[in-house]
């Protein structure tokens, strides 16, 4: 299964890309996260909290332009061709 990852802000700085297509063996958000960590270790520091072994609470996930609010979002199934973005909190004023 192939998904498109959209990179913004710090993610774009780390990867050097705006977007990328990834082939996944596991079709969940967890599977995608593991794939991204294996390719770009610094991203782990941006989105992962080792103390709770989970995504940081301020990380938003968008799939096909829809914000995912499900508390079990890591177990969500992805479909072939989905567009996924991880968003950091915005700052400024």
Q: Is the dihedral of CA 10, 15, 20, 21 positive or negative?
A: negative
Give the pLDDT mean for 31-50. Answer: 96
Instruction: Pick 2-87's CATH classification: 3.40.1370.10, 3.30.390.10, 3.40.50.150, 3.10.20.30.
Output: 3.10.20.30
Backbone angles phi, psi at 85, to 5 degrees: -135, 140
CA distance 26 to 15: 22
Give the pLDDT mean for 54-65. Answer: 92
pTM of the predicted model as reported, rounded to 2 decimal places: 0.89
pLDDT at 57: 86
Banded model confidence at residue 93, pLDDT cuts 50, 70, 90: low
Q: Residues 72-86: pLDDT tens digits?
A: 888 999 999 999 999
pLDDT at 92: 55
Mean pLDDT of all residues belonging to the chain: 92
Domain boundaries, the chain: 2-87
């Amino acid at each position: 299964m192939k998904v498109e990852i959209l990179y913004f802000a710090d993610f774009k700085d780390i990867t050097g890309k705006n977007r990328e297509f990834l082939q996944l063996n596991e079709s969940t958000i967890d599977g995608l996260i593991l794939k991204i960590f294996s390719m770009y270790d610094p991203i782990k520091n941006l989105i992962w909290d080792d103390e709770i072994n989970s995504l940081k609470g301020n990380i938003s996930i968008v799939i096909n332009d829809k914000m995912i609010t499900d508390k079990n979002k890591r177990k969500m199934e992805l479909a072939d061709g989905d567009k996924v973005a991880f968003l950091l909190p915005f700052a400024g004023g």
